[in-house]
Amino acid sequence: MTQNIQTIDVPIAEPFAEPLVPPSQTPYVERPHGPVGRSEDRIDGPEKVLGTALYGADLFYGRADCFVSVVRSEPAHAEIVAVDPSAALKMPGVLGVYTHRDVRGTNRQGLIVRDHPVLAESRVLFRGDAIAVVVATSERTAEDARRAVRVDYRPLPVVADMDAALAPDAPRLHPDGNIMGGKRIRKGDADAALAAADVIVSESFCTQTVDHAFLDLEAGIAHYDGRTLTIHVSGQWVHEERRLIALALGLPLESVRIICPATGGAFGGREDISIQIYLGIAAIQHPGKTVALRYSREESMRARHKRHAMRIYYTVGATRDGLLTAAKITVFSDEGAYRSTGPAVCRKAASHATGPYRIPNVSVDVYGVFTNNNPTGAMRGFGACQMAIAYEGMMDRLAARLGIDRLEVRRRNLIRSGDAVTTGQRIPIATAVECLDAAVRRLRQCPPPRPTDPHKSRTRPPALPPHLRRGVGYSVICFGLGYGDGFPDASRARVGVSDQGRIQVFTGGVEYGQGLITMAAQVAAEELGVSVRETDVVWADTEQTFESGSSSATRQTYFTGNAIRLAASELKEQLLDIASKLLGVHPHELELRDGCVVGRFDPARSVPLAEVVAQGRARGYSLEATALFKPRTVCEDFDTGQSPRAFITYLFGSHIAEVLVDIETGEVRVDRYIACHDVGRAINPQSVAGQMAGGATQGIGMALMEEVVNRDGRIANPNFTDYILPTFRDIPPVECVILENDDPGGPFGARGIGEPPLIAATPAVLSAIADAIGVHTHTTPCTPQRVWELLHPDEAAVPPDARFSLAPPHARLER
Amino acid sequence: MFSQPTTLEEALDVRARCGPDLLPIAGGTDIVVAMNRGQLRPAGFLDLTHVRGLDAVRHENGRYECGGAATHATLSRLPVEALAEAALSVGGPAIRNRGTIGGNLVTASPAGDGCVALLALDADVELAHASRGRRVVPLREYFLGYRKTALLADELITRVRFPKDWITAWYKIGKRGSVNISVVCCAIGRSPTGLFHIALGSVAATPIRAPHAEEIVNRDGLTDGAIAEAADAVRRDISPIDDHRASAKYRAAMSVTLVARLLRRIRDRVKEPAR
Ligand SMILES: Cc1cc2nc3c(=O)[nH]c(=O)nc-3n(C[C@H](O)[C@H](O)[C@H](O)COP(=O)(O)OP(=O)(O)OC[C@H]3O[C@@H](n4cnc5c(N)ncnc54)[C@H](O)[C@@H]3O)c2cc1C
């Protein structure tokens, strides 16, 4: 096994410095010699930097004939008695008001279960549920008319949280009750092993509701010409959006076309259908017109699904030496009003409940619980990040209990190559220990980057005053890539070549800033021996591209990268075949290099690609190829959660955070940050480092400040004044250590990087805070007040135990 | 309607004639937010950003005199520590370049950082009317209630005056390092005669002074005991609430912590032997 290490510092608090990408030291048999592995410039970079890229809001401003506004529920739970649009319809400029009665299809949406009416029929289940769609000649009129639509409600009791939802007399939010379902794992005998354990440690964790907070708000346009409904809106999976819209609105699949404009961030927040469907309703009613809709930040936060708040009850048993023998875990997950991707989040939480640790006896129960909060669904980390807070929190607690070093406890229990994770899947290349070691090496060997922010260096004290404490925190995580669990997961790609010899890659995947299309170009260019500059990528247009699955689950590099590589190699065979006839050399002795087909053993024999293409066209070659990459995973057993291959492959990572805590005020400052991930192969190291720094930033935000405050079914902070995101000042430069241990199944050995950096970040920061103040944290985010309350438990606004009233049966086993 | 006067006389004249119909706008950093939220739909604007001299800071007789439209960026460069740090803690660079001290005082948010720093400097604010002339109101008498001030609907804030060489200190607790609304903030100013002016933000309906706390250090000086006693006494000066930003208990505890911390900091600067 070859392991390659690259280090890239991503300075968050200062302008991007010259990237430092040391040339790889370690040779590898399949080492690519083209663009793969190089930090190629983003192909969408210039247009985004210059402002010429068209985002949804640019289309909104440029091309609309009429404007759409959505009437939303004010109560969090109510029956709809009547919807009266008459006042709105009388307003000049109002073209129509439409309710569920005007929707011709199923009027249902939902990524896993279609349980969510597009426009509410008889009941609303959260404050923000859509009820009607208004179309008017100006945005202002549409807004005013929206307010004039009268909705009469019969209020129902609001199920504000999971305690209320599980109360015996709770109102039923869905026909089967308030427990959405769940997921369980039974491996060995956790109860018996706990009974026999030398030590038992129990803890409860409480994670918050988080918003995706992408900056490019939902905005876009749609047009219906009587036959085809065309929608330009940012999403994460255009082909699934097409299916959902066709079904919900009663159109044949072929009559819906979705085109994704330039997109600024998604993080899972664009997986559920958003404005596409209201635009669709409006466009169908007004054929020939271009209809437009955009959300304000407040509407975006009120309308959209969120990250699940979870309560996690965690008990581990171990030997005196710190070897884990058992874990018993119960998780309650706030589903909000509808399922969204909740069932999959529950499954992912279960399969990641023990992270990268070897535990012979495990029992996990995860329950999704319906409430009248916003639906909760996909967000970067997807159930795994909440569990990482818990299992890493447990490792620190176990270490403290046994008086063993925190790193040592981890090393004793981390899985090694060939070991199995909790679902029973054996991991052939498990590099958790390698990641931890590389991160620790970085911490010890390299001095922290020079502080360049004048304010920071000014406030950095030479010696610590008595109210400041320094702490260092560690995390190690693993993450199963792709949908997993037997869910069909496939990517298709088409690669062709133009008459001018430009390579054209077609992928249904969505580029939202993560670097997908540059990756696509690099993989195709590598395979075909051309440069990225000679490669074009057409993406996320249901008419021009085949389905590539969602841009989520850290899957696009692996899945679409593979599909593109396969298609490109098919195309290459055609090209070599044509060239072989031109050059009189056997195809196996030809290769594509620098835009020419060249004799492998006789480089003098060479023909430019453009000529090969011309000859190919003349001879009737298709000069394009399509490929499908569809590896199988195996559904986890219903009763035991065991599966030989729940996920296609696993990713490992380790983070280290150094913090300063003001023990008088509870303020926390992250002073130094190291992120290390094994990505298989970094197809674009700068992109990988960007994902690591961005994920770390979001994870630090989750650890310290981000929280959607739900009060009686109402979001108390639906704006960026009070939904607190980290700023430049809150994140130190992220020191990125990239490990490369080739994945045998990935394109050029690549795995992926999207989600793991976020997952590893939150626990590292929490661990550092605990190290600094000597008290373990159990609730996120650790705002100054929460940290202060940890130090002054009797002053806490909410008594710590009141948060954990859903006491699970095995609580307080501690001894 | 939109009026963009270039002289103060003109501005005061328009203000006196149009009153609340033309909303004075300086940086717009409060107004635009309120408009975006639908809380404000002004009929027209009286733009103050072109009034000559209204954004200037002058220095006379040991006091600073800053125009009502002086920006936070301008104030952040003054050698008056509490005010400069408070101004530097407002929003981000763009907000500091636009937002003004006049706007901060008129909005009179309990969390207004400029308000708190100026209270600790015992500043005076000049409110002017085209015909009635100018009246000078001590800032401690200016805040009347939650976002209510002594400014009348036909007046403008023309000047704020505060001393130059007091020893001052500032601290703001928020949830992040920038664009940071205070959870509690505190400013303390010590006059050359040794009198303390303790001000706090986000712990009452308005930015406040803390007379109970002041009385103790004014009487006993900066002994350890007096600092502790004064810090504790601040509980009687504040009336914090529970909201989604913080609990009342935390705000109260932080008021105590910050008063003690800043008094100690001032003691270190004064190097005055404890009385
Ligand atoms: C992102 C962001 C972050 C912020 N962060 C902070 C912060 O950290 N701390 C803080 O204290 N504030 C903060 N603010 C609030 C705001 O920036 C300040 O209150 C600022 O000082 C307001 O000044 P302005 O000139 O922009 O006021 P404007 O919005 O122009 O006006 C505000 C009010 O003052 C009136 N007004 C303005 N000038 C005069 C005058 N000379 N005479 C009479 N009336 C006048 C206006 O009519 C209006 O009623 C923030 C705002 C934003 C948008």
For A544, the token pair is 């021009």
Residue B54 pLDDT exceeds 60: yes
pLDDT at A587 over 90: yes
A23 to chain B, closest Cα gap in Å = 36
Average pLDDT over residues A283-295: 98
Residue B64 burial (10 A CB sphere; 0-12, 13-18, 19+): buried
pLDDT(A21) > 60? no
Q: What is the mean pLDDT of chain B?
A: 96
Class of the CATH-defined domain A56-156+218-294: alpha beta
| Nearby residues of A168 by Cβ (< 8 Å), 6 or more positions away | none
Cα–Cα dist B232/A576, whole Å: 84
DSSP, collapsed to helix, strand or coil, labels residue B184 as strand
Best residue for ligand 1 mutational test, from B66, B106, B182, B200 (most atoms within 8 Å of Cβ): B106
Q: What does the CA dihedral B59, B65, B67, B68 come to, rounded to 10 degrees?
A: 160
Beta carbon of B102 within 6 Å of any ligand 1 atom:
yes
* Cβ contacts of A166 within 8 Å, gap of 6 or more: A178, A179, A332, A369, A806
Any bridge partners for residue A477, and if so which? A653
Residues of chain A with CATH 3.90.1170.50: 56-156+218-294
Over residues A440-458, the mean pLDDT reads: 67
Facing residue for B257 by CB, picked from A665, A669, A785: A665
Is the pLDDT reported for residue A590 higher than 90?
yes
Give the integer Cα–Cα distance in Å for A800 and A470.
25
pLDDT at residue A14 tops 60: no
Q: Does A797 contact B177 at a Cβ distance shorter than 8 Å? A: no
* Chain center to CA of B171: 14
Tens digit of each residue's pLDDT (9 = 90 or more) over B58-80: 998 899 999 999 999 999 999 99
What separation in Å is there between the alpha carbon of B119 and the centre of ligand 1?
A: 17
Q: What percent of chain A has pLDDT over 90?
A: 89
Name the token pair of A372.
Answer: 């009248």
Task: Check residue A9 and give its pLDDT.
Answer: 74
Q: Tell me how far apart the alpha carbons of residues A474 and A439 are, in angstroms, rounded to a whole number.
A: 9
Q: What is the pLDDT of residues A718-732, one digit of tens each?
A: 999 999 999 989 999
Q: Which amino acid is at A323?
A: L
* pLDDT of A813 higher than 60: no
* Residues A212-225: tens digit of each pLDDT: 999 999 999 999 99
pLDDT at B148 over 90: yes
pLDDT of residue A814: 38
User: How many interchain CB pairs under 8 A, A with B?
Assistant: 66
Which residues from B are below 8 Å from A784, CB to CB? 173, 175, 183, 250
Q: How far apart are CA A655 and CA A678, in angstroms?
A: 12
Name the nearest CA neighbour of B197 among B139, B252, B247.
B139
Task: Please say whether the beta carbons of A660 and B177 come within 8 A.
Answer: no
Helix ranges restricted to H, A128-261: 139-148, 162-166, 190-196, 238-249
Structure-token match 């502080």, residue found: A451
Q: How confident is the model at residue A582 (pLDDT cuts 50, 70, 90)?
A: very high
Cβ partners under 8 Å of residue A447, min gap 6? none
**Cα B98 to ligand 1 centre (Å):** 9
At residue A452, the pLDDT reads 52
- Rounded Cα distance between A228 and A224, Å, is 6
Give the ligand 1 atom nearest the CA of B68.
41
For CATH 3.30.365.10, the residue range(s) in chain A are 310-484+636-802, 490-629
Q: Do A730 and B246 touch (CB under 8 A)?
A: no
Cα dihedral across residues B251, B252, B258, B261: positive or negative: negative
Could B245 and A722 be called an inter-chain contact, meaning their C-beta atoms sit closer than 8 Å?
yes
Instruction: Tell me the pLDDT tens digit for each residue of B14-37.
Output: 999 998 899 999 999 999 999 988
What tokens appear for A79 in the block? 């029956």
Residue A179 contacts residue A335 (beta carbons within 8 Å): no
Give me the amino acid identity at A166.
L
Least trusted range by pLDDT, from A1-5, A607-611, B94-98: A1-5
Distance (angstroms) between ligand 1 centre and the Cα of B177 equals: 20
**Nearest CA-CA distance, residue A470 and chain B, Å:** 18
Cα A405 to Cα A409: distance, rounded to the nearest angstrom: 6
**Strand arrangement of the beta sheet that strand A199-206 belongs to:** A179-187, A361-370, A324-336, A310-318, A199-206
Residue A374 contacts residue A307 (beta carbons within 8 Å): no
For chain B, report the end-to-end CA distance as a whole number of angstroms.
61
The CA distances from residue A375 to A110, A312, A428, in Å, are 10, 19, 37
The β-bridge partners of A201 are A316
Q: Dump pLDDT digits (tens) for B210-227.
A: 999 999 999 999 999 999
> Does residue A726 belong to the interface with chain B, where contact is any CB pair within 8 Å?
yes
Tell whether A14 is within 8 A of chain B (Cβ).
Answer: no
**Alpha helices, DSSP H, located in B121-209:** none
- A298, A717, A727 member nearest B178 (Cβ): A727
Which CATH class, in words, describes the domain spanning A310-484+636-802? alpha beta
The amino acid occupying position B268 is D
CA distance A363 to A812: 16
State how far the Cα of B126 lies from the Cα of B140, in Å rounded to an integer. 13
- Whether A815 has a pLDDT exceeding 60, the answer reads no
For residues A227 and A471, the answer to whether their CB atoms sit within 8 Å is no
- Chain A residues with CB under 8 Å of B247 CB are 785, 797
pLDDT at residue A12 in the model: 55
What digits encode the pLDDT tens for the residues A762-800? 999 999 999 999 999 999 999 999 999 999 988 887 655
Average model confidence (pLDDT) across chain A: 93
Q: How many CB atoms are closer than 10 A to CB A546?
A: 19
| Cα–Cα distance, A316 to B174 (Å, whole number) | 36
Q: What is the pLDDT of residues A81-133, one digit of tens each?
A: 999 999 999 999 999 999 999 999 999 999 999 999 999 999 999 999 999 99
Q: Which residues contact A67 (CB under 8 A, 6 or more apart)?
A: A135, A136, A137, A138, A139, A141, A142, A291, A292, A293
Strand partners, A469: A661
Q: Is A711 in Cβ contact with B176 (below 8 Å)?
A: no
The model's pLDDT over A564-573, given as tens digits with 9 standing for 90+, comes to 999 999 999 9
| pLDDT at residue number A799 | 55
Closest CA to A249 of A151, A117, A337, A142: A117
Kindly tell me the sign of the dihedral angle through the C-alpha atoms of A67, A68, A74, A80.
positive
| pLDDT band for position B275 (cuts 50, 70, 90) | very low
Check residue A358 and report its DSSP letter: -
Q: Which residues, including other chains, have CB under 8 Å from residue B185's CB and lie 6 or more apart?
A: B86, B89, B111, B113, B116, B170, B171, B172, B173, B200, B201, B202, B258
Q: In 3D, which of A252, A320, A281 has the Cα closest to residue A130? A: A281
pLDDT at A19 over 70: no
How many CA atoms lie within 13 Å of A429's alpha carbon, on the beta-carbon side? 24
* Topology (CATH level 3) of domain A490-629: Aldehyde Oxidoreductase; domain 4 (3.30.365)
The number of helices, as runs of H, and strands, as runs of E, in chain A is: 20, 31
